[in-house]
Chains A and B, each alone.
Chain A
Amino acid sequence: ETGVTQSPTHLIKTRGQQVTLRCSSQSGHNTVSWYQQALGQGPQFIFQYYREEENGRGNFPPRFSGLQFPNYSSELNVNALELDDSALYLCASSRGQGRGEKLFFGSGTQLSVL
C-alpha cells in the first residue's frame, strides 16, 4: 500500500510568483485535503476535494485553488505569492467522508517566499 506523497519537498519563490504543489493520495482513497501550517501554529484547513469536486473550503483567498484528478491525486495552486504564504503545506487523504475517518498525511512541502 503506497502512502501519501508530496512534491516537491522544498521550494523557494519570490513574491508575486505562482506555485503548484502536488500530492498523490494513498491507494483506495478518494478524498484529499490541504492544510497550511505556519510557524508556531497548528495546521489550518485550506480546502478538500472529493471525487474531483471541491467539497469544503477554509478561510483562504481565491488565489489558493486546487484540482483533483481521476486517479485522486491533487494539486494546490497559489497565485500572486505573498510573504505570509511561507509555510509547510500538508496534503492528507482519506477513504471517504465518514465521521470516523482518519486522515493520512504526506510529509509536506516547505514553501519559502522571499
Chain B
Amino acid sequence: ILNVEQSPQSLHVQEGDSTNFTCSFPSSNFYALHWYRWETAKSPEALFVMTLNGDEKKKGRISATLNTKEGYSYLYIKGSQPEDSATYLCASHYGGSQGNLIFGKGTKLSVKP
C-alpha cells in the first residue's frame, strides 16, 4: 500500500516567521508530486505540480523542492502572514489515471498576527 506522510501535523507560528513542511512518499514508480492549499470553507487550491528530481518552484512567498530519489518534498513559506493559515496537502501520483493521487493527511498551519 502506497503511503504519503506529512509532517508536522499542525504548526503555529507568528506573523513574519518563516516555516517549512515535509512530504514523504515512496520513490519507486514516481510520476508527479502535487501541493495544495486548503483554506477553511473553501476549495483546495493547487500550488505546485512537480515532476523532475531537483525541481524547485516558487509562487510569491511560497516555494517547494522535490527529491524523487529519496522520496521527499519540502514546502517553504517565507515571512508567514495570517492569510497563509490553511491546511497544506501534498499528493503523489504514480502513473495510470491522472486523478489517482495519493494524499497525505495535511499540515495545518496557523499564523498569529
Q: Which residues of A contact B (CB under 8 A)?
A: 3-4, 31-33, 35, 40-45, 47-48, 50, 55-56, 58, 90, 92, 94, 96-108
> From residue B55, how far is it (CB to closest CB) to chain A in Å?
10
Stretch among B37-45, B62-70, B72-80 lining the A interface: B37-45
Q: Is A99 a contact of B97 with CB atoms below 8 Å?
A: no
Whole-angstrom distance between the alpha carbons of A97 and B32 in the complex?
12
Residue of A nearest to B38 (CB): A105
Q: Is B11 interfacial (CB-CB < 8 Å)?
A: no
Total contacts A-B at CB 8 Å:
83
> From residue B65, how far is it (CB to closest CB) to chain A in Å?
16
Whole-angstrom distance between the alpha carbons of A94 and B36 in the complex?
14
Whole-angstrom distance between the alpha carbons of A103 and B43 in the complex?
11
What does DSSP make chain B's interface, helix, strand, loop or mixed? loop
Q: Is A48 a contact of B98 with CB atoms below 8 Å?
A: yes
Q: Is B49 interfacial (CB-CB < 8 Å)?
A: yes
> From residue B53, how far is it (CB to closest CB) to chain A in Å?
14
Q: Is B104 a contact of A42 with CB atoms below 8 Å?
A: yes
Please indicate the chain A residues that have their CB under 8 angstroms from the CB of B31 in the complex. Answer: 99
Please indicate the chain A residues that have their CB under 8 angstroms from the CB of B100 in the complex. Answer: 33, 45, 48, 56, 58
- With A99-B31, A107-B41 already in contact, the answer to whether A40 and B105 are too (CB < 8 A) is yes
Within 8 A of A (CB), among B57-108: 89, 91, 93, 96-106
Q: Is B111 interfacial (CB-CB < 8 Å)?
A: no
Q: Is B105 a contact of A106 with CB atoms below 8 Å?
A: no
> From residue B94, how far is it (CB to closest CB) to chain A in Å?
11
Residue of B nearest to A3 (CB): B43
